[in-house]
Chain A
Amino acid sequence: MNTMKCHITFLLLVCSAMMAAAQRFDKLTSGQADSTLAMVRERPSSADFVTVRGRVVRVATGEGFAGASITSAELRASAMTDDDGRFEIRLPSTTRQAHVGTGVLLEVTAPGCVGQVVAVQGRTDILVRLLDAIDDSTPSELNLRITGPLRATRQSGQPGSGETYFVRGLQSINLSSQPLFVVDGAVWQMQEDAHTSVAGYTDNPLSLIDPDDIESIDVMRDGTAIWGAKGAAGVVMIRTRRAKDMATRIEANLSMGFVTPYSSPTMMQAEAYTRYATDVMRGMKAEERGALHFTQNDPSRSYYWDTHQQTDWISEVNRTGFMQQYGINVAGGDDVALYRFSLGYGKNEGNVDGTSFGRLNVRFNSDIHLTERLFLAADIAYAQTMSRVNIDGLDDVHNPAYLAMVKSPLYGPWQHNLSGQETNRMNDTDELGVGNPIALTGDNLPDIDRYRFNLNLRPSYAFTDRLKLNATLGFSWDKTAEDLFLPDHGVADMPLHNAQGEVYATALNTVSNLMARQSTLSAEGRLDWAVLKDYRHALDLVAGGRFYNTYYKWNSGLGYNTGSDFMRALSNTNSSLRWIDGESDKERDAAWFLTADYAFLKRYSVGLGLELATSSRYGRKAGGVDLFGVSWSVNPSLQAAWLITGERWMQRLRAVNTVWR
Chain B
Amino acid sequence: MKRNAIIATLAVLVGLLVWSACSSEWDDHYGRRSDLSTRCLMDIIEADGQLSTFSQALKQTGIDSVLRSDQTYTVWAPTDEALATLDLTDAAAVQRLVMNHVARFSNPTSTAGSVVMLNGKSMRYTSAMAFNEATIDEANIVAVNGLLHKLSAQIPYRYNLRELMDADGRFKELSAFVARFDQRVYDERRSTSYDSVFVDYNALLQDVKYGVGDLADEDSLFTMILPTDAVWQAELERISSAFAPYNADAVAADSIRRVQAAQALLGGLTFRGIVDATADSLVTITGKVIKPAKDYLEGYERIEASNGIIYVAATSLNRNDAGVWRHVLLTEAEDLDSRVAMAGSNCYVRNTDASSLVQGVSENSYLEVSSGNVDGGSTFYVANALATKYDVYVDFVNPIVDGENVAAERTKVTFQLMYRGANGRSTAMNQNTPTEITGVDADGARLPDIISVRAFEAVELPVSDCYDGMWLADPAHAALDMTPTTTLRVQTRVTAADARNGYVRKFRIDRVRLVPVTD
Contacts and interface: CB of A to CB of B under 8 A. Distances in A.
Interface string A159-181: 00000000000000000000000
B71 A275 contact: yes
B205 to A, nearest CB: 19
Given A266-B30, A275-B71, 13 more contacts: A61-B1, A265-B30, A267-B30, A270-B70, A278-B104, A279-B72, A282-B104, A291-B190, A295-B71, A297-B66, A301-B195, A302-B193, A418-B194
Interface in B186-201: 190, 192-195
B106 A279 contact: yes
B145 interface: yes
A165 to B, nearest CB: 27
A303 B65 CA distance: 20
A519 interface: no
A266 B30 CA distance: 6
Contact of B194 (A60, A274, A291, A302): A302
Interface of B: 1, 26-27, 29-31, 65-66, 69-72, 104-106, 144-146, 190, 192-195
25 contacts: A60-B1, A61-B1, A265-B26, A265-B29, A265-B30, A266-B27, A266-B31, A271-B70, A274-B70, A274-B71, A275-B70, A275-B72, A275-B145, A276-B72, A278-B71, A278-B72, A278-B104, A279-B72, A282-B105, A291-B190, A297-B66, A297-B69, A297-B71, A302-B193, A302-B195
Nearest to A271: B70
B105 A278 contact: yes
The 4 A-B pairs with the shortest beta carbon distances in the complex, nearest first, are A302-B194, A279-B72, A274-B70, A278-B71
A279 B69 CA distance: 13
A60 B194 CA distance: 81
Contacts of A291: 190
A303 B144 CA distance: 26
A279 B72 CA distance: 6
Interface of A: 60-61, 265-267, 270-272, 274-276, 278-279, 281-282, 290-291, 295, 297, 301-303, 418
A281 B106 CA distance: 11
A61 B1 CA distance: 9
Nearest to A61: B1
Given A265-B30, A266-B31, A271-B70, A303 B192 contact: yes
Contacts of B31: 266
B105 A279 contact: yes
A610 B30 CA distance: 63
A307 to B, nearest CB: 12
A491 to B, nearest CB: 23
B45 to A, nearest CB: 17
Contacts, number: 48
Q: Which of B26, B31, B105 has the most CB of A within 10 A?
A: B105
Given A265-B30, A266-B31, A282-B104, A302 B192 contact: yes
Contacts of A301: 194-195
Q: Chain B binding site: helix, strand, loop or mixed by DSSP? A: loop
Nearest to A289: B104
A204 B1 CA distance: 38
Nearest to B72: A279
Contacts of B194: 301-302, 418
A291 B70 CA distance: 18
A60 B145 CA distance: 69
A272 B32 CA distance: 11
A297 to B, nearest CB: 5
Contacts of A295: 71
A301 B195 CA distance: 6
Contacts of A303: 192, 195
Contacts of B65: 297
A297 B65 CA distance: 10
A356 B192 CA distance: 42
B227 to A, nearest CB: 33
A362 to B, nearest CB: 37
B281 to A, nearest CB: 35
A582 B105 CA distance: 56
Nearest to B65: A297
Contacts of A276: 72
Contacts of A302: 192-195
A288 B72 CA distance: 17
A206 to B, nearest CB: 29
Contacts of A272: 70
Q: Which of A265, A266, A278, A418 has the most CB of B within 10 A?
A: A278
Contacts of A278: 70-72, 104-105
A275 B67 CA distance: 11
A292 to B, nearest CB: 11
A290 B145 CA distance: 19
Contacts of B192: 302-303
Nearest to A280: B105
A609 B471 CA distance: 104
A60 B105 CA distance: 75
A577 B192 CA distance: 33
Contacts of A265: 26, 29-30
Contacts of A290: 190
Contacts of B190: 290-291
Contacts of B104: 278, 282
A304 B425 CA distance: 62
A401 B486 CA distance: 76
Nearest to B143: A275
Nearest to B73: A278
A291 to B, nearest CB: 8
A272 B66 CA distance: 15
B211 to A, nearest CB: 20
Nearest to B3: A661
B505 to A, nearest CB: 63
B144 A275 contact: yes
Nearest to A132: B1
B197 to A, nearest CB: 10
Contacts of B30: 265-267
Contacts of B66: 297
A177 to B, nearest CB: 33
A614 B413 CA distance: 110
Q: Which of A279, A281, A295, A418 has the most CB of B within 10 A?
A: A279
B230 to A, nearest CB: 39
B63 to A, nearest CB: 12
A209 to B, nearest CB: 30
A303 B194 CA distance: 9
Q: Which of A274, A275, A301 has the most CB of B within 10 A?
A: A275
A266 B29 CA distance: 10
A418 B193 CA distance: 12
Contacts of A61: 1
Contacts of B27: 266
Q: Which of B30, B70, B195 has the most CB of A within 10 A?
A: B70
Nearest to A304: B195
B28 to A, nearest CB: 11
Nearest to B111: A282
A275 B145 CA distance: 6
A324 B72 CA distance: 50
Nearest to A282: B105
A88 B25 CA distance: 61
Contacts of A418: 194
A289 to B, nearest CB: 8
Contacts of B144: 275
Nearest to A295: B71
A133 to B, nearest CB: 14
Nearest to B113: A282
Contacts of B1: 60-61
A422 B66 CA distance: 26
A305 to B, nearest CB: 12
A463 B190 CA distance: 93
Contacts of B106: 279
A266 B27 CA distance: 8
A265 B28 CA distance: 11
A278 B72 CA distance: 6
A58 B146 CA distance: 74
B357 to A, nearest CB: 56
